[in-house]
């Protein structure tokens, strides 16, 4: 069900609105564009919950042991 705006989603996920639009453009979040005088995204709450509960890739190089 598409019922959350990008601003609401950014507040819920504690990320920027720009990050939400990036996730939409990458296909991570499902969204529909409402074409009223100013177009805006309506985001699927199921995809938001799936993104929030998905494990995040830490990435990067592992730390060296300091025992040496």
State pTM to two decimals: 0.76
For a pLDDT cut of 90, what percent of the chain falls above it?
62
Say yes or no to pLDDT of 15 above 70: yes
Chain mean pLDDT for the chain: 89
For the chain, the domain total comes to: 1
| Residue 22 is assigned to a structural domain of this protein | yes
Rounded Cα gap, residues 54 and 13, in angstroms: 12
CATH number at residue 26: 1.10.10
Domain hosting 8: range is 2-53
Q: Is residue 11 part of a domain?
A: yes
Asked whether residue 67 is assigned to any structural domain, the reply reads: no
CA-to-CA separations, 19 to 13, 36, 64, in angstroms, rounded:
10, 23, 32
* Residue 14 within any structural domain of the chain: yes
Query: Which residues lie closer than 8 Å to 7 by C-beta, 6 or more apart?
Result: 17
């Amino acid at each position: 069900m598409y019922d959350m705006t990008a601003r609401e989603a950014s507040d819920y996920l504690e990320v920027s609105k720009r990050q939400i639009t990036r996730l939409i453009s990458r296909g991570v979040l499902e969204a529909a564009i409402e074409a009223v005088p100013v177009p805006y995204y309506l985001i699927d709450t199921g995809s938001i919950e799936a993104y929030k509960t998905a494990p995040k890739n830490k990435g990067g190089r592992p730390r060296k042991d300091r025992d040496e």
